[in-house]
A and B are shown apart, each in its own frame.
Chain A
Amino acid sequence: MDRSDAHDLQGEVLIAGAAEGPLLVLEEPLSFWGGVDPANGKIIATRHPQCGANVSGTLLVLPRAIGSSSSSSVLLELIAAGHAPAGLVLGQTDAILLLGSIVAEELDHSPVPALLVKDTALVGLRSGQQGALSLDGRLRVHN
């Protein structure tokens, strides 16, 4: 099981599901509203160090929650447009953001799986590493 080029983090399942993709580790908190273009997933917050990066299809790692109460809408629109992150890895539960996923399910879209991982365990994750979320709440990261 334990492969030398990968390691596992165990988290708490917030929104159940499996997903894989490259990690995008946010270096600073990001408000989805005003920070991510709902039409294409691009980070548009000019003061954010990762402005210009795209959240679509990534395992988006958010160590901290922040900002506007409209982030859930942006996540819902991203899901409906097919530009949502493949999965979310949160250091703190962000119910506002995850609500976008809950509502998506009521509107017959697939929700974005989300995992809560102790923020100290997130230290060391790097953008670009391949990762996979599993149904039992594990995040497998390939070095």
Chain B
Amino acid sequence: MTVTLTAEEQAIAQGRDGPGRAMALRILAESARLLGAEHLVPIASSHIDGCLYHGDSGVAFAEKLVKGGARVTVPTTLNVGALDLLRPQQIRLEPHQREMALRLMRAHEALGCRATWTCAPYQAGHRPAVGEDVAWGESNAVAFVNSVLGARSNRYGDFLDLCCAITGRAPATGLHLPENRRATLRVDTSAIPDRLKELGAFYPVLGAWYGRAVGEAIGVIDGLPQTVSEDALKAFGAAAASSGSVALFHATGLTPEAPTAETALGGQAPSEVLRPAASDLLAARDSLSTVEGAHLDAIAVGSPHFSNSEFKQLLKLLDGRRSRVPFHACTGRHVIAQLEAEDLLQDLEAAGVNIVADTCVVVTPILEGFSGVLMTNSGKFAHYAPGNTGYGVLYGSLSDCVESAVAGRLVRDESLWSA
């Protein structure tokens, strides 16, 4: 497969706009070849995941672009880094890693990206229109921008997201092409009790089940209540994108490309209809926990980053009580500014809630030591915490997390899940 570059693109690749932009275009063209794209498409915006420190080579890459005079050419937000720039002392990185993580974050700022440092950029004002081509990285952000906003992005990995932002282009393939956005599977949720669908904790669980069930196929989910919140869809997408390779899902009546299931299916019959039973969901819920017992060492919420309304819910559930264990709530500056304006930061502090900004507990060392038990309401934290933090996981609803925090041991309301 060969990629046809326009005269303009060839000129960029040959260095017309400097060595940085030339390198970005070369990498983009090589990736387009691997992806089987025949040409590149212009993009409206980008969200960059490559600002998280994984090692010194990633820093060398970003700094080579800066040195080569590159700048992003479309509006570009940044995903989390490895540091909390507002309260750097709570990150337990060694001096060398700390320095390199900071250099990586600064290099991205120097390339002209907005210092949003959040995995929920779609709740920080970055909301592309339906049908717009964009190049987003970070699996939950990609699932959200495609599914909930109806913009068009593939899963852009580290480096490629930045190369797209610098060149203003993306390979014309995959989910950029309307014919590839059609659902081929139908998920019939009628066997699941309505009371479960009213629970916030249901959506990460459904997402974990869905990701494993569909892998990278596109499904349309039928029978979810029309009152499902954006935060619930966010939690669903994040869990589905970590347990499978889900970059796009449709939910009938809830997402823009699925006014009806038939529309999402493009008028064709689904290749398969999946009918999860309540017992499948219970099994998916249990699979999110890796340990048993009542002991817990810390609680973490906010993956994807907590929204303003999730903080309000948290405060309501806490109801003036205080956590007896470290309670981390990860979020972005866009939310902290709102909480500050509403005078809510002091209430959170009084309740023992530690706010983590710009980063989160599974991508950088914040938790104490390398073993223990972490309770979370996030399907994504549940998926990544054991490998990345060494902690075992107990999964529960936000309400379970709060009751456990106050009690200092696991308290889980099983009644809603029992048959």
Contact = CB atoms under 8 A, between A and B. Distances in A.
Interface of A: 14, 33-35, 38-39, 44-47, 64-74, 76-77, 79-81, 93, 95-100, 102-104, 106-107, 109
28 contacts: A33-B54, A34-B388, A38-B54, A47-B290, A47-B386, A68-B242, A69-B138, A69-B155, A70-B49, A70-B157, A72-B158, A73-B50, A73-B54, A73-B58, A76-B54, A76-B55, A76-B57, A80-B56, A96-B160, A99-B27, A99-B158, A99-B159, A102-B159, A103-B61, A106-B23, A106-B26, A106-B61, A107-B61
Interface stretch (B31-39, B110-118, B256-264, B334-342): B31-39
Contact of B55 (A68, A73, A98): A73
B245 interface: yes
Given A34-B362, A72-B157, A73-B58, 19 more contacts: A35-B387, A65-B216, A66-B244, A67-B139, A69-B138, A69-B139, A69-B161, A70-B49, A70-B50, A72-B158, A93-B36, A95-B35, A96-B156, A96-B157, A102-B27, A102-B30, A104-B57, A106-B61, A107-B64
A33 B157 CA distance: 11
Interface residues of B, number: 42
Nearest to B23: A106
A77 B244 CA distance: 24
B142 interface: yes
B62 to A, nearest CB: 11
Nearest to B247: A69
Contact of B54 (A46, A47, A65, A74): A74
B55 A96 contact: no
Contact residues of B: prevailing secondary structure? helix
A115 to B, nearest CB: 12
A93 to B, nearest CB: 6
Contacts of B219: none
B377 to A, nearest CB: 19
Given A38-B54, A102-B27, A107-B64, A70 B158 contact: yes
Contacts of B26: 106
B159 A103 contact: yes
Given A71-B157, A99-B158, A77 B245 contact: no
Nearest to A36: B387
Contacts of A34: 362, 383-384, 387-388
A70 B52 contact: yes
Contacts of A106: 23, 26-27, 61, 64
A38 B388 CA distance: 12
Interface string B265-298: 0000000000000000000000000100000000
A64 B58 contact: no
A69 B31 CA distance: 14
B137 interface: yes
Contacts of A77: 54-58
A46 B290 contact: yes
Contacts of B31: 95, 99, 102
B88 interface: no
Contacts of A81: 55
A68 B158 CA distance: 10
Contact of B142 (A39, A69, A71, A73): A69
A57 B227 CA distance: 52
A133 B245 CA distance: 28
B60 interface: yes
A124 B384 CA distance: 31
Nearest to A12: B1
A39 B54 CA distance: 10
Contacts of A45: 387
A93 B155 contact: no
Contacts of A68: 139, 242
Nearest to A15: B34
A69 B49 contact: yes
A103 B156 contact: no
B215 interface: yes
Interface string B239-251: 0001011000000
A93 B34 contact: yes
A103 B61 CA distance: 8
Contact of B160 (A38, A44, A72): A72
A69 B54 contact: no
Q: Closest 7 interchain pairs by CB? A: A77-B55, A96-B157, A73-B54, A80-B57, A72-B157, A73-B158, A69-B157
A32 to B, nearest CB: 10
Nearest to A108: B60
* Most chain A CB inside 10 Å of its own CB: which residue of B52, B58, B242: B58
